Amino acid sequence: MIRVAQWKYERERMVKEQIIPRGVEDVRVIEAMTAVPRHLFVDTSYQHQAYNDYPLPIGHGQTISQPYMVAAMTELLELKGTEKVLEIGTGSGYQTAILAFLCDRVYSIERISALTTQVRQTLKRLGLKNANLMVGDGSIGWAEYAPYDGIIVTAGAPEIPNALIAQLAEKGRLVIPVGDEFSQILNVVKKHKGRIYRQEHFGCTFVPLVGKEGWDK
């Protein structure tokens, strides 16, 4: 990845004040959060707020997630660098870039094509070449490249989509917010010897996952 020195101090402060004190320990995740220039994933009018402790609008009624949420969800994937990861809800592409930094290959799906167009340019500018983007309904996953060692959903689902469980590799981990349209609980689903294990983590608030195995629109 091309290193960007701009806003470096704010980025380091974000990690020191928002990420580490809340318990994120994975050194690779901390390195990624320190390296990836979050300000390039928001509109120029929001750049001065890019390292603050909250989500920001990215247009089309969608948001870039709070930095801590990105770090915490990424840590739950337990990436070592060799994995193939599926992301549902590309949005700003910030989470995509963090994943691209931490695993072998990312497949990311977004339903709003204008967002994907923007993300392609940003990832190219940063020299991140291991992310494949698609416009479509991610609630049914991306069967073509399955199974995935990790799946991360950055929109709130009413239930865990069966398609995503089916596309999870043995020993794979699926991180997904599940709940109603206003608040969700972060769930981690693991597949081990073909069996499914589900754990509930912390509360969160995401925009809705809209699609065949998500909410109707």
Task: Give contact residues for ligand SAH (rule: CB under 6 A).
Answer: 58, 62-65, 88-89, 91-92, 94-95, 109-112, 115, 137-139, 154-155, 207, 209-211, 214
Task: Name the residue nearer to ligand SAH (CB basis): 195 or 217.
Answer: 217
Q: Is 65 a catalytic residue?
A: yes
Residues 74, 31, 78, 85, Cα dihedral to 10°:
60
Which letter does DSSP use for residue 39 in this model? G
Cβ 63 to ligand SAH, closest distance in Å?
5
Three-state helix/strand/coil letters over 164-214: HHHCEEEEEEEEEEEECCCCEEEEEEEEECCEEEEEEEEEECCCECECCCC
Q: Among residues 7 and 68, whose Cβ is nearest to ligand SAH?
A: 68
| Minimum CB distance to ligand SAH, residue 31 (Å) | 19
Task: In angstroms, give the least distance from the CB of 169 to ligand SAH.
Answer: 21
Amino acid at 49: Q
Nearest approach, Cβ of residue 74 and ligand SAH (Å): 10
Amino acid at 126: L
Nearer residue to ligand SAH within complex by CB, 113 or 192? 113
Distances (CA, A) of 217 to 63, 81, 214: 18, 37, 9
- Pick the closer one to ligand SAH by CB: 189 or 207: 207
Tell me if 89 sits within 8 A of 153, measured CB to CB.
yes
**Given the residues 45, 65, 92, 108, the one annotated as active site:** 65
Catalytic residues: 65
